[in-house]
Amino acid sequence: MGYAQQGSPLTAAEYLAWEETQEQRHEYLHGEVFAMAGAEDRHVTVAGNIFVALRQHLRGSACQTYISDMRLHVEAANAYFYPDVMVTCDAADHASRLSKAHPLLVVEVLSPATGNYDRGDKFAHYRRLASLREYVLVDIDRRATDVYRKGADGLWVLHPYAGEEAVEFASVELRLAAGELFADVGEVVEAAADSRPVQGN
């Protein structure tokens, strides 16, 4: 989450009307709006890899996959967020064009600025979604993925994946290979290194 914008607290309706006029995206929490910081290329690449894999896997089903420009309404927290990726199979969500409220899967790709918030307060807000079955956190630097999965007893259990382990998205019955999850990330870094000017003799 970015820095809070100055001004009086907004109602959710006021935020939605105001947000439609903004060039930059803002999240909303308890009357305050927070500017969304831009993401680095690796972040965008990994989020895109996950989105494409989920979209292809769920094609033709009752579930839809959305990437970062779609708002998620957490009514119990009086909040609107922009998850990196989410999946919903809810009919009411399909009818709602501007925001979704009943995802079963939410994915956040961690960044240095938001990592602690995504693991802590944001997860606490997301857990108030009755529909949510999995919350996924992807750490690009560590090449690791933490999947928090809600059990039948209502308790959230951590399932960590690292290295070459394939990640299990049990909520949508998808097994995603590490090479697919992190595809093109190594190449992007190497290309940046190769682009350095060569010193002459």
pLDDT in tens, 150-160: 999 999 999 99
> Buried b vs exposed e over 135-153: b needs ≥16 C-beta within 10 Å?
bbbbbbeebbbbbbbbeee
Mind listing the pLDDT tens digit for each residue in 15-58? Answer: 999 999 998 999 999 999 999 877 789 999 999 999 999 999 99
Q: Return the pLDDT at 21.
A: 94
Q: Return the pLDDT at 132.
A: 98
Would you place residue 197 in the very low, low, confident or very high pLDDT band (cuts 50, 70, 90)? Answer: very low
Q: Return the pLDDT at 65.
A: 98
Alpha-carbon span 151 to 115, nearest angstrom: 24
Mind listing the pLDDT tens digit for each residue in 59-84? Answer: 999 999 999 999 999 999 999 999 99
Alpha-carbon span 52 to 84, nearest angstrom: 12
Alpha-carbon span 157 to 163, nearest angstrom: 20
103 alpha carbon, distance to own chain's centre: 12
Residue with tokens 């989105």: 51
Q: What percent of the chain has pLDDT over 70?
A: 88
Q: What percent of the chain has pLDDT over 90?
A: 81
Q: Return the pLDDT at 121.
A: 94
Would you place residue 7 in the very low, low, confident or very high pLDDT band (cuts 50, 70, 90)? Answer: low
Would you place residue 124 in the very low, low, confident or very high pLDDT band (cuts 50, 70, 90)? Answer: very high
Q: Return the pLDDT at 198.
A: 41
Q: Return the pLDDT at 114.
A: 82
Angle at 101 between CA 48 and CA 19, to 5 degrees: 75
**Which carries the bigger pLDDT value, residue 116 or residue 130?**
130
Average pLDDT, the chain: 89
Confidence (pTM): 0.87
Within the chain, what is the greatest distance between any pair of CA atoms?
69
Would you place residue 113 in the very low, low, confident or very high pLDDT band (cuts 50, 70, 90)? Answer: confident
Q: Per the structure block, which two tokens stand in for 158?
A: 């951590």
